[in-house]
Amino acid sequence: MSAGHYENFPVASLLLPRTLRDPVSVIYRFARTADDFADEGSDPPDLRLEKLQGYRNALQAIRANRPSETALFRDLARVIAEHRLPPQLFDDLLDAFSQDVLKRRYADFAEVLDYCRRSANPVGRLVLHLFGRNSAENCALSDRICTALQLINFWQDLEVDFRKDRIYLPQDEMQRFGVGEEHLRRGLCDRAFRDLMRYQVERARRLMLEGKPLVDRLEGRLRMEIAITVQGGLRILEKLERAGYDMFRRRPAHRWFDWPVLFVRAL
């Protein structure tokens, strides 16, 4: 799983109970390796898709209670069984990774949301399942947080994705604000681009704040984990704003001095 897409995943976090660090690590290994098939190296698209199909086949074997051939899927089969995790959430992740191989542009925000539903939301739902807090209400709030995190990552890494010939900005909104691909190619941060990115940042913040009540529905370590995750996303948005939405020259990222701030805000 690329750090760019999943830097907020709570891998081996000290805030996680020791009993859950192994299952979280197994889920992370699955998602990271699958995402690498889609995003890393120089494989042609057909080979990338073939590798992802191999993961789908392995998931189907787990569903059919057939022995897994690799250590990763033996571990995953154990975690799915022990914690009653829905296999569909893993399928959704694979669908999103496969889409990254083939789809380079998004016509409107509805298409972007559909991608987030499969690329980001399953992660939050899996964490809630592990903690036994996966009520419908909690999952709906988690979806807002995870979608916001995915959007924040898109805007944070706009230039990085463009170098891979991917643009997650909705094409209709780019047109409405008078922004073209030349802006991304040249790193042009003019008024039109800033207006477009202000709109994207405000929408991502609104989604994050809509999901934030999830924190008050949780307790203990999970509550703090999610609270810090929320504050981390909001802080990246603040940094984008302070940079004048110029992620081309001032890509926002968390530094060591951000963590005390996030901890205090989470409290």
User: Could you report the per-residue pLDDT of 187-216, keeping only the tens digit for each?
Assistant: 999 999 999 999 999 999 999 999 999 999
Cβ neighbors of 162 (< 8 A, separation 6 or more) are 181, 184, 185
Residue 176 tokens, joined: 């409405």
- The mean pLDDT of 254-262, rounded to a whole number, is 77
Average pLDDT over the chain reads 91
- The mean pLDDT of 4-8, rounded to a whole number, is 46
Q: What is the pLDDT of residue 167?
A: 97
Query: 60, 67, 63, 64: which is closest to 94 by C-alpha?
Result: 60
CA atoms of 132 and 210, how far apart (whole Å): 22
CA atoms of 98 and 50, how far apart (whole Å): 10
Instruction: Look at residue 106 and give its three-state secondary structure.
Output: strand
Residue 10 tokens, joined: 């709570």
Per residue in 118-141, pLDDT tens?
999 999 999 999 999 999 999 999
Q: What is the pLDDT of residue 252?
A: 85
Q: What is the pLDDT of residue 5?
A: 47
- 104-267: CATH topology is Farnesyl Diphosphate Synthase (1.10.600)
- The mean pLDDT of 152-174, rounded to a whole number, is 95
Per residue in 74-83, pLDDT tens?
999 999 999 9
Q: How far is CA 206 from CA 35, 93, 223, 233, in A?
A: 28, 24, 20, 12
Phi/psi of residue 204, nearest 5 degrees:
-65, -40
**Residue whose structure tokens are 């926002």:** 252
- Give the burial class of 170: count Cβ atoms within 10 A of its Cβ; 0-12 exposed, 13-18 middle, 19 or more buried: buried
Q: Where are the domains of the chain?
A: 13-102, 104-267
* Least confident piece of the model among 9-18, 55-64, 217-226, 255-264: 9-18
Whether residue 219 has pLDDT greater than 60: yes
Whether residue 4 has pLDDT greater than 80: no
Q: What is the pLDDT of residue 221?
A: 85
